[in-house]
Amino acid sequence: MTQPSATPTTSGGSRSAIAAHPVISAVIAILILASVFFSLYVPLYASATPKVGDFPFFYFYLLVYIPAVGIALGIVLFLQSRLASRPAGSRPAGTDGPDEVTQ
């Protein structure tokens, strides 16, 4: 027979940030998977015949793709920072200096 644990189990206890915010987590996953997919799916951009101006499509694709991935990953970083939960006694961002001592 097993002994009951000293800490009571309650429903609705501390949940992970991913479980607490499934929509934000899904958006993060979609943005990352789309970034990887559009770089690895070669038939999408591996043709020389379509041209945009004087550029073959591959070069134009890279000129558009690199900044787009930067923006997408910037959004991912912003959303991840929203997922990070602060402990109850923590300070707001930017106030991690020593405590002021009044005499």
Per-residue pLDDT tens digits for 4-33: 666 555 555 566 766 777 888 888 899 999
Query: In terms of Cα–Cα distance, which of 74, 83, 70, 84 is closest to 26?
Result: 83
Tracing tokens 């005499």 back to the chain, one arrives at 103
Total domain count, the chain: 1
Q: Is the pTM of this model over 0.75?
A: no
Q: Count CB atoms within 10 A of the CB of residue 41.
A: 10
Percentage of the chain with pLDDT > 70?
63
Q: Is 89 a member of any domain?
A: no
Q: Is 49 a member of any domain?
A: yes
Average pLDDT score over residue span 59-86: 86
For residue 4, give both structure tokens.
């009951």
Find the domain containing 43 and state its range. Answer: 18-83
Average pLDDT score over residue span 32-61: 81
The pLDDT of residue 74 is: 93
Q: Is 100 a member of any domain?
A: no
CA 29/CA 15 separation, integer angstroms: 19
Dihedral sign, CA of 92, 97, 100, 101? Answer: positive
Say which residue, 34 or 17, is predicted with more confidence: 34
